[in-house]
Structures are given as C-alpha cells and as structure tokens.
Amino acid sequence: MTIIETPSPNFNDRRLPVSMIVLHYTGMVDGGAALERLCDPVAEVSSHYLIDEDGTIHRLVAEEKRAWHAGKSRWRGIEDVNSASIGIELVNPGHEFGYRPYTEEQIDALVPLLSAIKERHGITRGNVVGHSDIAPMRKQDPGELFPWNRLARVRLALPRPTKNLMDPGWSDAGFLVALERFGYDVTDKLAAIVAFQRRYRPELIDGTIDGECRCILLALLLPKPQGDA
C-alpha cells in the first residue's frame, strides 16, 4: 500500500482513545480542491486519509492526532467523535456537485487501509460508520451509493441482515428507542430514520418506518441465537 504524505496543519491532541472509523465523501468538484481545503489552515477541517478516484491514498494527519472531520455529531453516547475516530475521505462530488458511484480503484484502496486501521486500534464493525450515521441532521455522506456490502463481506462493516427477519411490531416510538439503543442520535426523528435507511435499506429512503426497517433493526440489535448446544 503506497501512501502519499500530504500533511495538513488542521489537528490537535486526542482526548479519547480511538474506537471508531468515520467514512466521508469530499463533496467538492474534484480531489485537488478537496485536498486544498483539507490542508487550508483557514478552513479548519481535515481528515486522517483521503482516497482519490484513481485509488491514490493521501495521509493528512497522523492517526494518533485528532483530525477535524466529524463536526457536531454523536454515536453511541460519544459526542467528541473527532477525539475517538479515524476519518477517511473518499473523493466524490457528492449530492451537491453530481453524486456518482465510487470507483473500483477507490474501494480496492480503502479495503486494506480500513482493515489495517481496524486491526491496529481494535475497532468493532459496528463502529465503522458513515458521517450521516453520526450527524443525521447535517450530513448525507458517504451516501446511498457507498458499497457497505463490499466492506461487510470482508468483515470490515456490519452486513445488512437478510436472514430470519422478524417484525417485532414496535410502535414508531418503540422503533426510535431501539434506534437510539443501536447508536443513532434520534433528536430529529425523521433525520435519524433517513440516516438508518441510507445505511441499511438504501433502495428506499422515504423517512417512513415500515416492517422491513423494524426487521432490520431488530436483527442488528439481537445477538445471534446460540441454541442450547
């Protein structure tokens, strides 16, 4: 894995141990513009890594330092997500400038990088998240075209549950309690539902809680049945 050192001045010291990885898209016209912004002291934003559409990996901030990518966010009770996470930006114009599929080269570069980071810090699959998962009111990245299933196949992210699905029949209030239990900030109910759908049911993002959403969330929360063997 070749990593180009492209240091950003935008970082400070961590106040928490690393326990999460946050994936982003850059949401700018191209990779050059994104790199420039992430290294601009005036912008006060950064990430640890950036992966261009040709698969080139740039390191902007050392993993032991706190990069500035999460903004106001919350996941599983952690509010200083920048202190607890490694941030990876994938070059993509995003919803504002022409959202398009991630390239094969990008994902081929992401998989070993993510695998090494996850291993190095002992990060669980459930804590490999998208920006929209931790800031549902503000963010849509990395978006519904991000290939979470490819990461899940190599155990780098949670898979979308597909087997033995059962509808627990929760009320909408019950669903939101469960969603918060799983990790989402549900302060804005609609935003939280949309973020969950974007991650786990991207073919229908309508902000409406239905039986399929309940089935998926129940399966994510339940431990695997062990039987009595």
Binding Zn ion (rule: CB under 5 A), the pick from 66, 131, 198, 199 is 131
Catalytic residue among 36, 53, 63, 89: 89
Q: C-alpha 9: how far from its chain's center?
A: 24
Q: Which is nearer to Zn ion, 67 or 213 (CB)?
A: 67
Contact 48, 63 (CB under 8 A): yes
Least distance to Zn ion, CB of residue 24, Å:
3
Q: Which is nearer to Zn ion, 24 or 48 (CB)?
A: 24
Two tokens, residue 88 = 């990876």
Least distance to Zn ion, CB of residue 170, Å:
30
Least distance to Zn ion, CB of residue 38, Å:
11
Binding Zn ion (rule: CB under 5 A), the pick from 52, 141, 144, 185 is 141
Contact 67, 61 (CB under 8 A): yes
Please give the size of the binding site for Zn ion, defined by CB under 5 A.
Answer: 3
* Alpha-carbon gap, residue 48 to 53, rounded angstroms: 17
**52 touches Zn ion by CB under 5 A:** no
**198 touches Zn ion by CB under 5 A:** no
Contact partners, residue 116, CB within 8 Å, separation at least 6: 1
The vertex-145 CA angle with 157 and 46, nearest 5°, equals 70
Q: Is 104 a catalytic residue?
A: no
Least distance to Zn ion, CB of residue 140, Å:
9
**24 touches Zn ion by CB under 5 A:** yes
CA dihedral 2, 103, 96, 31 (to 10 degrees): 30
Q: What are phi and psi of 157, to 5 degrees?
A: -155, 165
Q: Which residues are catalytic?
A: 89
Which residues contact Zn ion (rule: CB under 5 A)? 24, 131, 141
